[in-house]
Amino acid sequence: MSIKLDILSDPICPWCYIGWTNLARAMEQRADHPFVVEWHPFQLNPDMPPQGMDRATYLETKFGGRANAATAYAPVLEHAEKAGLSIDFAAIPRTPNTLNAHRLIHWAGLEGRQTAAAVAIFKAYFISHRDIGAADVLEGIASEIGLDCAMIARLLAGDADQADITARDQHARTRGVTGVPCFIIANQHVVTGAQPSDFWLNVIDELNQQVQETAPE
């Protein structure tokens, strides 16, 4: 029996990357997990200019400078380390508009490679410090995960699915989502924040137990 797990996320959200890493580790430890994962768009900075913004300028605007940003990011770094991730925020040159990254994740989903796309974009931004708002970077990621790079380039050059991504983002907000990551289990149970792997192991075990108890003899 499979159970839908919807993940609302933004590729520049470090908590989303941490949350996914913890979930993925739990699913690896429970090969019999019931989850079928689908990713959904949520932009933390929907008004970000299309070309993105110099990160120093972004930090100044959002936090009042790097010193305040360092204070805000301290718990992020702590949890990232616990998840086995090494994130150097100072090495990230730009804060991008993530609309095109969300479009790529959507298109990858049509080819059965949605999670691969989401994870590759996380790594490109947080580990390789690439500008995931740039078309050539996204085209490279598409090629890396086995998508048709030429087709993705043509799609990115136009406005395909931009309105759909924006509408889905707005729909999430109207349903009460104010931040990410947000996990929705079986369209019923909402889990917010970057939960540790142990949390997800318990969830998987409980779900599998429920399935066993309700299975016909």
Q: Which residues contact 44 (CB under 8 A, 6 or more apart)?
A: 10, 12, 13, 98, 179, 180
Which phi-psi region, left, alpha or beta, contains residue 205 (left: φ > 0; alpha: ψ -120 to 50)?
Answer: alpha
What ranges in 47-190 are assigned the alpha helix state H? 55-63, 66-82, 99-110, 114-126, 135-144, 149-157, 162-174
Helices (H) and strands (E) in the chain, counts: 9, 6
Q: What sign for the dihedral angle of Cα 17, 19, 22, 28?
A: negative
**DSSP classification of residue 51:** T
Domain span at residue 146 reads: 3-214
Q: What is the predicted pLDDT for the residue at 114?
A: 98
**DSSP classification of residue 160:** T
Query: What is the count of structural domains for the chain?
Result: 1
Q: What is the predicted pLDDT for the residue at 212?
A: 78
Q: What is the predicted pLDDT for the residue at 199?
A: 98
**DSSP classification of residue 47:** T
pLDDT in tens, the chain (217 residues): 899 999 999 999 999 999 999 999 999 999 999 999 999 999 999 999 999 999 989 988 889 987 898 899 999 999 999 999 999 999 999 999 999 999 999 999 999 999 999 999 999 999 999 999 999 999 999 999 999 999 999 999 999 999 999 999 999 999 999 999 999 999 999 999 999 999 999 999 999 998 777 766 6
- For residue 160, the domain's CATH number is 3.40.30.10
Global pTM value: 0.95
What are the beta bridge partners of residue 191?
A: 183
Three-class DSSP category at 184: strand
Q: What is the predicted pLDDT for the residue at 216?
A: 65
Distance between CA atoms of 108 and 212, rounded to whole angstroms?
33
Q: What is the predicted pLDDT for the residue at 215?
A: 66
Q: What is the predicted pLDDT for the residue at 139?
A: 98
Helix axes 14-29, 197-214, angle to 10 degrees: 50
Count of CA atoms in the C-beta half-sphere (13 A) of 7: 30
Six token digits for residue 41: 């768009």
Q: What is the predicted pLDDT for the residue at 110?
A: 97
Q: What is the predicted pLDDT for the residue at 67?
A: 86
